[in-house]
Amino acid sequence: MEWIKNADGWKIRELPGTDFVLEADMVILATGFLHVVHNGLVSDLELKLDKQGNVAVNNYQTSEPMVFAAGDAISGASLVVRAINNGREAAEAVNYWLQGKN
């Protein structure tokens, strides 16, 4: 993908011919963006949003129990170091949840 700036602001454009398949048990996407995009995954999963339009979480767990979120998705655009820390904390929350320690 690549970022394209137009009159409406920045948009992500898929690059043709760059598709590939990886076998994986878990996939964590960290693509970065300017704000939460509601169409697609957020709306398809009917995730609840907070008053600012960010994904609402409780200990990084969304309204869909098997879906966790962190970084800009839950706080809006912020510093990358904050997003990295959020990702680490979310990973710990997922670990506890998988172990039944929630």
Residue 37 placed within a domain: yes
Q: Provide the number of structural domains found in the chain.
A: 1
Q: Is residue 12 part of a domain?
A: no
CATH of the domain at 52: 3.50.50.60
DSSP-based three-state secondary structure for 93: helix
Q: What letter would DSSP give residue 12?
A: E
Q: What is the pLDDT of residue 50?
A: 92
Which of 39, 45, 47 has the alpha carbon at shortest distance from 63?
A: 47
- Residue bearing the bigger pLDDT, 76 or 85: 85
The verdict on residue 34 lying in a domain is: yes
Residue of higher predicted confidence among 30 and 59:
59
User: pLDDT per residue over 23-57, tens digit each?
Assistant: 988 877 766 555 667 888 899 999 999 988 899 99
